[in-house]
Structure 1
């Protein structure tokens, strides 16, 4: 029994509750709304799933702060005290295109540091969880890839570059195929971080400043599975960091160098 066992259980229960609601609308032709940009979309399922997540959290921790992507929840992680960071559907663009790579994400943090996480992907029947005793996928313990040959690495450029930053996206693809064995892109940051934790990918990179609901749970998964997550300076990643570089740790400096090459485009 760990100090944060209750938060681990609630994170999973809340993520499962939200995922069940979202799954009801998947592949049903649900109406799509744009949140300001053509690639930034939302559905009623996002809102309904977020309410289900919050209801489950409030049953156990009624006074905790909640940071969430939709509606009027907080948009920044509090520096002190307990809080929850939630994304009802991470990968909404996949969701509305009937692609099954999307997740309901819930993380518990204390004083800004994650202590529990759950990413539930109902269309794939997968549930990633993490707590102080490690990371798991469907109950089985996770460990990052042991690969140390960059020619065998599979890397994902994640966190979307907006239309005015597509040169950075192009550079990310270029540096990955120049330096590493192969590249994938999935359109769901939490799924990608889970894949790094599970050893399916060796790393993921972005120089974009990510939102906490897209990253906090997955970063905790990677770390609890033995991986390394830093900012673009190579410092330990936090929810306030610039960029995100997550890897299995064997060649993190080389993965970090690739991310910095992308950032040079923005700075030029």
Structure 2
């Protein structure tokens, strides 16, 4: 087994393991705290799932470098080394134990446990587990799949048939931006949708269920890298608002099936200009 294949297998195993922990806590009594806003929440399930993900990675890669959404000091890092940003050189793991926690605590089943394996700043494998949907999306050096079946992005070319996801936090201090994004999408495409789980939305684009997605705020690595890798491996495209190749949270994230990527960019630029 090659090193890249090994990392892909561990990413999938870790995402599955963290997802199992989160699924066991789903729709049970939770301890919920807020972070930066009343809708930016974290639960005990996030921390427990993160601990399981880290333990699974450490079994195969002791002293691995990890970048996590939740504060590792509250759960213990175990045998891993915690970094604040994705390193430019060397291997690392990027972990989101529950992406879509706001959905999770409201007992809405669209949430994900996501793990990316990164080498020299670029994802080489990604896994997004969506236990409530009974789906696992994976991408490694040899395959990209949903539930072990090969997947590709949508082949749709007609913008009037496009379903475009919008994502990012609503803000009472800036109500115009999300409104303008929805306006631009509905003017240019057939359908606009908002799911409340970035990694889940990226997985849907990779699997062909959605044609594109617009994320106006620069995403954190744990919100984006696994899903971006899924989209690219499935034949799609992920860029910044200016059309440059997206890397690690340096700008807005625009993804598509790559049949009308410029049109998606135009809509996003119209909304965000």
Distance, in Å, in 2 between the alignment partners of 1:6 and 1:128 is 16
Q: Distance in 1 between matches of 2:226 and 2:170?
A: 21
SS in 2 for 1:75: coil
TM-superposed deviation, 1:144: 0.4
* TM-fit CA distance, 1:74: 2.8
Quote how far apart the aligned CAs of 1:158 are: 1.3
Question: Does residue 220 of the first structure (1) align with residue 200 of the second (2)?
Answer: no
Corresponding residue of 1:124 = 133
- Residue correspondences, number: 264
Q: How does 1:48-87 map to 2 (within 5 A)?
A: 48-72=48-72, 73-87=82-96
Deviations 1:53-101 (A, max 9, x none): 0001111111221000001443311111100000000000000011100
Distance 1:166 1:210 in 2: 19
Contact 2:180 2:272 in 1 (8 A): no
Query: Which of these residues, 195, 211, 216, is aligned with residue 204 of structure 2?
Result: 195
> Aligned residue for 1:20?
20
Aligned-residue CA RMSD (Å): 1.1
Q: 1:240: how far off?
A: 3.5
Which SS does the other structure have where 1:24 is aligned? helix
Secondary structure (helix, strand or coil) at the match of 1:165 reads: coil
Give the whole-Å Cα distance in 2 for the aligned partners of 1:157 and 1:237: 17
State the match for 2:35 in structure 1: 35
TM-score by length of 2: 0.94
Q: TM-score, normalised by structure 1?
A: 0.96
| Segment drifting more, 168-177 vs 67-76 | 67-76
Aligned-residue offset at 1:2: 4.4
Instruction: Tell me the SS of whatever aligns to 2:175.
Output: helix
Separation (CA, whole Å) in 2 of partners of 1:261 and 1:68:
33
- What residue ranges of structure 2 are gaps of 5+ in the alignment? 73-81
Output one character per residue of 1:179-233: Cα deviation in whole Å (capped at 9) or x when no partner. Answer: 0001111100001000000110000002211111011000000000000100011
Query: After the TM superposition, which residues 76-225 of structure 1 pair with which residues of structure 2 at under 5 Å, given as runs?
Result: 76-225=85-234
For 1:161 and 1:238, the matched residues in 2 are separated by 24
